[in-house]
Structure 1
Amino acid sequence: MAGGPGVAVYLVGGHESAYGRELTRFTGSAATIAEAATAPGRGLQDLAEDALASEQTVVAVPMTFGRDPQMVAETAKTLKWLSARAPGRVAVSAPFGTTDHLTTWLRAAANRAATGGGRTALLAVAPHSNPFDEAELHRLAYLVATYGALPEVHATIADDSAELAAAAARARALGAERVVAVPAGFAATLPDADVELAGPLVGEAAVARVVRIRVVAALAALVAGDDGIDVALAADHGHGYAHSHAGDEHPHTHADGTTHVHSHGSAHPHAHADHRPATPVGDGVHGYHQ
């Protein structure tokens, strides 16, 4: 297992992995990278409680490509009270990936699709989630089309064969001779449709490598007194609709522990920036697109 003896590793998923169901192929035996996959909430809580009762250390790895910060925060909320009960034995790692990593992997998929010849469209396929996370996929698809090997890259929100087939028909109506579809998440397959499948997005060996990197870093931070929970709690800060303050003052605590007071004399919508440091380049994620 990724964490070694005495460490229980859990992969936690949201809409990018069918709430953990698409992660089960990485779990359950000595050859895999984690004990179990689950969604935040009761399932994760029960798994963590059982591991702690067995004197294990718990590491939860939020399995997102950067499009589900709410799931990261929910993971931390689930484990926060357990961390208080078992200090030094519960950790939330950095998320599996960021949207920069997702862009890199989608560009790799576009490069692979382009080798097949003909006028090709790539569909980056994800299930329905929420307007903000879906809009983010459209933004990334535009970047891949702008800077990648294919000029036609489309974000495709599809839960079933009919929705995927309709997206493929639109691409052909725009002149595509070939339509290639790739999961924009952790799915190994896609609904049946008249498309070429270029997936999964990331090979299993690459997923295993990244998870191990995340777990090792989380355990090292835990030894140093940082369980990762406070940073994870703030993952969705500023995500979604902008909020407003009318003549209020409120304290705001950053991930580094410093606190200052926001003072707002009039109502105005704004979204706070994420104060967490960016994932460093060269952490073993970029370039892995087996």
Structure 2
Amino acid sequence: MSVHADPGTHAHTDPATARIVAALGPESEDMPDLGIPSAPPGRGLSDLVAAQGAGGDLVVVVPMTFGRAPAVIADSARTLRDVRGRADGARLALAAPLGDATMLVTRLRAAIRRHPEAASVLVVSPAIDPFADAELFRLARLARQYGHPGLVEVAFHGGSEPDPDLAGGLARLDALGGGRPLLVPATLAPAPVTGRDLPGEGEHLLGPAVLRSIIDTRVREAVHRWDHGAHGPDGPDGPDGSDGIDPALDAEDGHGYAHSHVAADGSVYTHSH
């Protein structure tokens, strides 16, 4: 990046030059191949980020979650914090996650509208954890609101302790008179194949072009934020949080059972994650 011409002006980073890395999690299993370097948080992501940034380019990591797996965000932040600490002057930024609950509900509704003939819908996802799985029931209910059909159920295919599993979800729709249900994935994987030749099988919630467009938007936002802070008095990793890393360390707060901690001064505070 060029030197300031004066205190009020500076050269901006071209988002097209940023090195994009996708941080993987349970919602990104079997996602379309976009040609983007990808790894789960931890050693794999750490090594990948270090390699991508070796030439001095800004590396932007995008957590591949709709927010149901906040551990992907927090663990990505911890990974980048460690890389930042080891590599003095490393140019790193953590983008906002791929999407949020509002986006997921919107995309579920759009997928349902593409099949107006469907008598019922089964929203499918790998099991993540009890809280993420319970959240999917709420989001499926919101996707159903004001739409057609009126019968929308949830099932889990893969992951840890799927409850109900795919067979159980289909059996419930059968018992409720759901006819031939539409399968809609709530993650980046295609809807599973059931052997019943159901509508929606093998279809993605987001096609490759749409998915890449969303990722590029997140990268542009992160580059803009990084640029804004990089030329401020605190630098790119100052208290303004312009690299997005430190603010994301608390992404899991509010997810999970509430519990208490005792601070060094004896005060007690309660939160959940």
Specify the TM-score bucket, using the shorter chain as the normaliser.
0.7 to 0.9
In structure 1, distance between residues paired with 2:270 and 2:16: 47
SS in 1 for 2:213: helix
Moved more, 142-151 or 9-18: 142-151
1:121 match: 120
Q: Which residue of 1 aligns with 2:234?
A: none
Counterparts of 1:75 and 1:176 in 2: how far apart (Å)? 41
| Secondary structure, counterpart of 2:177 in structure 1 | coil
1:130 aligns with: 129
Aligned partners of 2:59 and 2:92 also within 8 Å: yes
* SS of residue matched to 1:40: coil
Q: TM-score, normalised by structure 1?
A: 0.75
* Structure 1 residue 159, shift from structure 2 partner: 2.0
2:6 maps to which residue?
Answer: none
When residues 88 and 165 of structure 1 are mapped into structure 2, their CA distance, relative to the original with a 3 A threshold, is same
Residues 120, 180 of structure 2: 8 Å contact kept: yes
C-alpha displacement at 1:177, in angstroms? 1.5
TM-score scaled to structure 2, two decimals?
Answer: 0.80
Change (3 A) 1:88 1:224: farther
Alignment map for 1:16-165 (pairs within 5 Å): 16-18=27-29, 22-23=30-31, 25-27=33-35, 34=36, 36-84=37-85, 85-87=87-89, 89-113=91-115, 115-116=116-117, 120-159=119-158, 163-165=165-167
Sequence identity, in percent? 37
Instruction: Please give the residue correspondences for 1:217-236 in structure 2 after superposition, counting only pairs within 5 Å.
Output: 217-225=221-229, 226-236=242-252
Gaps of 5+ in 2: 1-13, 230-241
Deviation of 1:166 (Å)? 3.5
Contact kept in structure 2, 1:59 and 1:215, CA below 8 Å: yes
Q: Distance in 1 between matches of 2:192 and 2:39?
A: 21
Whether 2:212 is the aligned partner of 1:208: answer yes
| Number of equivalenced pairs | 241
Q: For 1:9-68, what per-residue CA distance to the aligned partner results, in whole angstroms no more than 9, with x for missing partners? A: 0111211112xxx245111xxxxxx3x122111111111111222332211001111211
Aligned to 1:13: 24
Which runs of 5 or more structure 1 residues have no equivalent in the other structure? 28-33, 252-261, 273-290
Q: Deviations over 1:177-201 (max 9, x none)?
A: 1211011100134243322226311
Shift of 1:173: 1.4
Partners of 1:165 and 1:193 within 8 A in 2: no
Corresponding position of 1:187 = 189
1:238 partnered with 2:251: no
Matched AA of 1:68:
A
Bigger CA radius of gyration:
2
Tell me if structure 2 keeps the 8 A contact 1:164–1:193. no
**Change over 3 Å in CA distance of 1:250–1:145 after alignment to 2:** farther
CA distance in 2, matches of 1:58, 1:96: 16
Displacement of 1:149 after TM fit?
2.1
Aligned-pair CA distance for 1:220: 1.4
Cα pair 1:3 1:9 within 8 Å, conserved: no
Aligned-pair Cα RMSD in Å: 2.5
- The Cα offsets for residues 239-258 of structure 1, whole Å up to 9 and x where unpaired, read as 1110125xx5579xxxxxxx
Moved over 4 A (4+): 248-251, 268-272
Q: For 2:110 and 2:124, how far apart are their aligned partners in 1?
A: 15
Letter in 2 for 1:233: L
The 1:202/1:24 distance shift into structure 2, 3 A limit, reads: closer
Whole-angstrom CA distance in 1 between matches of 2:127 and 2:228: 39
